[in-house]
């Protein structure tokens, strides 16, 4: 039992040291300085929301961790894309052309 007590105290001390290091962190990342609140959670970042169609990406909005005054945390923008944009799926209500090459090694007859 004495070992269990010492082990528990060691784990608690390590947790406290790790918590202190996280809260005093000054590392810089892609989104800025990594800052943590008193609960150990990040509270100074934002996310960029994009949609992907094929090889193209489109800006759809932003999510902010801290809302600005009289503003929302989640902002969506009007969808701006080329008129010739195609989406591979779903094909509901559209005609699809399927091409099959009947030449080895592309297809094999059973």
**97 in a structural domain:** no
**What is the C-alpha radius of gyration for the chain, rounded to an integer number of angstroms?**
27
Q: What is the pLDDT of residue 95?
A: 72
d(CA 42, CA 34): 7
- Let me know whether 53 and 34 are in one domain: no
- Let me know whether 38 and 49 are in one domain: no
**100 in a structural domain:** no
Computed over every residue of the chain, the mean pLDDT equals 71
Taking residues 75-99, what's their average pLDDT? 67
- Let me know whether 37 and 59 are in one domain: no
- Let me know whether 35 and 57 are in one domain: no
- Let me know whether 55 and 33 are in one domain: no
Over residues 37-69, the pLDDT tens digits come to: 777 677 777 788 888 776 778 888 888 877 665
Number of structural domains in the chain: 2
- Let me know whether 14 and 30 are in one domain: yes
Structural domain boundaries, residue 21:
1-42
- Let me know whether 49 and 38 are in one domain: no
């Amino acid at each position: 039992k004495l070992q269990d007590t010492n082990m528990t105290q060691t784990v608690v001390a390590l947790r406290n040291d790790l918590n202190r290091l996280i809260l005093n962190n000054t590392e810089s990342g892609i989104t800025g300085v990594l800052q943590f609140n008193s609960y150990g959670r990040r509270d100074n970042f934002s996310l960029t929301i994009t949609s992907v169609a094929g090889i193209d990406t489109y800006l759809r909005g932003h999510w902010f961790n801290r809302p600005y005054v009289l503003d929302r945390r989640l902002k969506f923008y009007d969808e701006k894309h080329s008129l010739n944009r195609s989406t591979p799926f779903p094909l509901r209500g559209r005609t699809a052309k399927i091409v099959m090459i009947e030449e080895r090694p592309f297809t094999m007859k059973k």
